[in-house]
Amino acid sequence: MPGFRTVLAVTGAALLVRRAVRRRMGHAPLWPMPALDTPISGRPRGRAQLLTVAGRTVVADGVVRLRLEPRAGAELPPWEPGAHLDLVLPSGAVRQYSLCGDPADRSAYTVATRLIEDGRGGSREVHEQLAEGTGIEVRGPRNRFPLVSSHAYVFVAGGIGITPILPMLRAAQAAGAEWRLVYAGRTRASMPFLDEVERIGGAGRVTVLAEDETGRPDPAALFDGIPPAAAVYCCGPEGLMDAVAAALPTGSTLHLERFTPAAATEGNAPFELELRRSRTTVTVAADETALTAVRRELPDIAYSCAQGFCGTCQQRVVAGEVEHRDELLTDEERRDSMLICVSRARGGKLTLDL
Amino acid sequence: MSNTQQAWSARVPEPLASERVELKARKVSFAWEETPLHWIPDDPFATHTINVLHLLLPAGERWFVHVYKQILPYIKDEQLRADVIGFIGQEAMHSQAHDEVLPHLREQGLDPTPYTAQVDWFFEKLLGDRTLPPGKARKWWLLERIALIAAIEHYTAFLGDWVLNAEELDRRGADPTMLDLLRWHGAEEVEHRSVAFELFMHLDGSYKRRVRTWGLAFTALVFLWQRGTRFFMENDPTLDDGRASFKEFFDRGRQGVLPTAGAMARSIPRYLARAYHPSQEGSTEQAVAYLASSPAALAAEAREKGAA
């Protein structure tokens, strides 16, 4: 048995230590654990926000414009021209729509959608179910179609493809850049934001091509007399974008925004996937994912949801252009990585750090 | 699996086949605008004690995923491998979902960053991949972390089971979105409660390691949790003199808004029993039933169909 003195000494020492610790923590409550210099937690990639449809306007035949507002007094995250928003529709389906309002207006997001009769049903839901006052969950904004800084721009919009272009026009105008817009559509009545476009551009910058008046646009004429090394931005139907790509003058850079659904499974092209560290190349067939092809070579590769949301299969991309089809990665992460369970090569080849 | 222990102990972990379920990640999404700071009305202490989950889980579950990604090559059992793959996705979603609560707390004047930056350090640095020679040392550190995760998962399953049954939270009018987050998470923890333990038994199963890592995990949890509750109480902008005490913890346990100290104490010998298997506690049936009615899980299902 320890003697009375020993007990007294130990108790006394314990009390002193306790007092010292308390005093120390009084100054710095989170003493003594170190912290990570650049915190990781608390900066989620995306955040769901509950907005309200505050305005619903028909802006052209078959096109509605929605104004989505947060609860009173709240400010929305900022965005830049070209950005899009994920809308979680009442059925649970997620669809992406370009923001077409004013980036400086932090009190609302504006999107416009055309009703597609034989589409997958997303636009029908927007048109029929998103009445004024309806609550809607959104994620984003994100930007996979950013406006690069340039001395001259050529914008080519087809129909509803005007939506991401519209804020770009204002930005180009504000920056004092040389720009012009070719806006094609079936009829003038079906083309949204015509007045606004003409108001921003004034005379001379905007060419409106309505098929019922002038016939289909001649792609070769699109680039007549444009300044050299212009940045070309195009959003519209596949046919229009292919024509623009084919007619692109040398020296100009082309930026395309596709309407492709996030998880399109049809019309995939096969591509080569080089696994740099494994010193091998696999072929990804049109009807399989990059993950499936990689697993043949590296069976222990980590993955989980296989649908592009959990992020487990994220891999570093060393070379090649990626068509991102996930709903998770930030624009920053997309610069040098991809989710191999859903995303594919845009060209014919990708190189991964695997 | 180590057979040495089976040789001298007749009581070995026996899984209950009826508790097995196929695991898949759900793409849930929660919007936090409507959730008040004290989401259990008029009970900041219980609110913040549960809120500590949002401090620990983003970094903690990210770490689970990080460790489990490295263990895949060592798994020799196809069923277990499929379970681990499902587990990884569920944990990744848990981490993301809790992480999205943190900016909401910040907007309400309670910035969690000083605390979460320490939790980040804890999991990224202290428990991260250390510079070790390849081979034995590296494998040892991996197994040690696998065992730690098994011990922590004992507690996440315990808490998951608790929150699925915590009817007092409904009676108090707790925020429905927060309750759905906790119960969706809790239900998935109950669903996959056997995976971490089975993985540990498959790779190593040493009883000494089980006890040692339990001691570490338990100590760390108690330390971090009381510290987190104190942190929230002291920094809550609506409380003049916010304090946390163990007495309040015992009181809330009796009221049913937090787990009781007794139930927590009783769960210790269960994990340390040689015949322990996580399938012996909690109910997969209840978890699956909740997931079939959870607003977030249902929306995730609809989203999956909508995308197809």
Considering CB atoms only, which of A34, A42, A305 is closest to B25? A305
State the Cα–Cα distance between residues A13 and A210, nearest whole angstrom: 89
Residue type, A226: I
**Interface of chain A against chain B, CB under 8 Å?**
29-30, 33-36, 39-50, 70-71, 74, 88-89, 91-94, 122, 137, 139, 262-263, 300-305, 307, 309-312, 327
Cβ of A42 and B99 within 8 Å? yes
Q: For B274, phi and psi rounded to 5 degrees?
A: -65, -30
pLDDT the model gives residue B306? 66
Q: How far apart are CA A300 and CA A320, in angstroms?
A: 24
pLDDT at B4: 45
- Which pLDDT score is estimated for B8? 43
Q: What is the end-to-end Cα distance of chain B in Å, rounded?
A: 41
CATH class of the domain whose range is A152-257: alpha beta
Beta carbons of A42 and B113 less than 8 Å apart: yes
Q: Which amino acid is at A49?
A: Q
Q: With contacts defined as CB-CB under 8 Å, which chain B residues touch A92?
A: 298-306
Does the pTM surpass 0.90? The reply is no
Burial of A128 (0-12, 13-18, 19+ CB in 10 A): exposed
Q: Is the dihedral of CA A91, A96, A98, A101 positive or negative?
A: positive
The residues with which A352 forms a beta bridge, in sequence order, are A275, A317
Per-residue H/E/C for A275-325: ECCCCEEEEECCCCCHHHHHHHHCCCCCCCCCCCCCCCCEEEEEECCEECC
The pLDDT tens digits along chain A (354 residues) read 778 999 999 999 999 999 998 888 888 888 889 999 999 999 998 888 899 999 999 999 999 999 999 987 788 989 999 999 989 888 878 888 999 999 999 999 999 999 988 777 888 999 999 999 999 999 889 888 899 999 999 999 999 999 999 999 999 999 989 999 999 999 999 999 999 998 988 768 898 898 888 877 777 777 887 888 889 999 998 888 888 888 888 888 889 887 755 445 556 899 999 999 999 999 999 999 999 999 999 999 999 999 999 999 999 999 999 989 888 998 889 999 999 999 999 888 999 999
Look at residue B308 in the predicted model and tell me its pLDDT: 52
Per-residue pLDDT, A333: 93
Choose among A264, A260, A244: nearest CA to A252.
Answer: A244
User: Which of A163, A92, A89, A84 shows the shortest CA–CA distance to A130?
Assistant: A89
Contact between chains at A42 and B119 (C-beta distance less than 8 A):
no
Q: Provide the residue-wise pLDDT of chain B in tens; the chain has 308 residues.
A: 444 444 444 467 888 877 888 999 999 999 998 899 999 999 999 999 999 999 999 999 999 999 999 999 999 999 999 999 999 999 999 999 999 999 999 999 999 999 999 999 999 999 999 989 988 999 999 999 999 999 999 999 999 999 999 999 999 999 999 999 999 999 999 999 999 999 999 999 999 999 999 999 999 999 999 999 999 999 999 999 888 999 999 999 999 999 999 999 999 999 999 999 999 999 999 999 999 999 999 988 887 776 65
**Fold annotation for A271-352:** Ubiquitin-like (UB roll) (3.10.20)
Token pair of A172 as six digits: 């180009």
Domain definitions of chain B by residue range: 41-302
Closest residue in chain A to residue B295, using alpha carbons only: A92
CA nearest to B226, candidates B258, B185, B194: B258
Contact B125 A70 (CB under 8 A): no
Q: Which of A68, A54, A130 is nearest to A99 (CA)?
A: A68
Helices (H) and strands (E) in chain B, counts: 14, 0
Locate tokens 């929605």: which residue?
A66
Contact yes or no for A304 and B302 at CB 8 A? no
CA distance B6 to chain A (A): 30
Q: At what angle do helices B246-255 and B44-71 cross, to 10 degrees?
A: 90
Q: Is A101:A71 a contact under the CB 8 Å cutoff? A: no
Rounded Cα distance between A243 and A69, Å, is 38
The torsion angles phi and psi of A69, rounded to 5 degrees, stand at -115, 145
What is the rounded distance in angstroms from the CA atom of residue A354 to the CA atom of residue B68?
18
- What is the pLDDT, as a whole number, of residue A262? 44
**Token match 């229009």: residue?**
A240
Find out whether B159 and B189 touch, Cβ atoms under 8 Å: yes
pLDDT, position A95? 87
A153: phi then psi, degrees, rounded to nearest 5: -130, 145
Closest Cα partner for B94 from B134, B65, B137?
A: B65
Give the residue from chain B lying closest to A325, CA to CA.
Answer: B307
Quote the pLDDT of residue A231.
92
Q: Which residue of A has its CA nearest to B73?
A: A300
Q: Could you tell me the residue ranges of all domains in chain A?
A: 48-139, 152-257, 271-352
Provide the CB-side half-sphere exposure for A69 (13 A, CA): 11
Residues 6+ apart with CB under 8 A from B270: B276, B280, B281
- Chain B residues touching A48 at Cβ < 8 A: 29-32, 100
Q: Which fold is adopted by the domain A48-139?
A: Elongation Factor Tu (Ef-tu); domain 3 (2.40.30)
The amino acid present at A221, given as its one-letter code, is A
Token couple for A103:
């980036």
**Strand segments (E) across chain A:** 48-60, 63-69, 83-88, 94-98, 109-114, 135-143, 152-158, 178-185, 206-210, 231-235, 253-257, 271-275, 280-284, 314-319, 322-323, 337-339, 344-345, 349-352
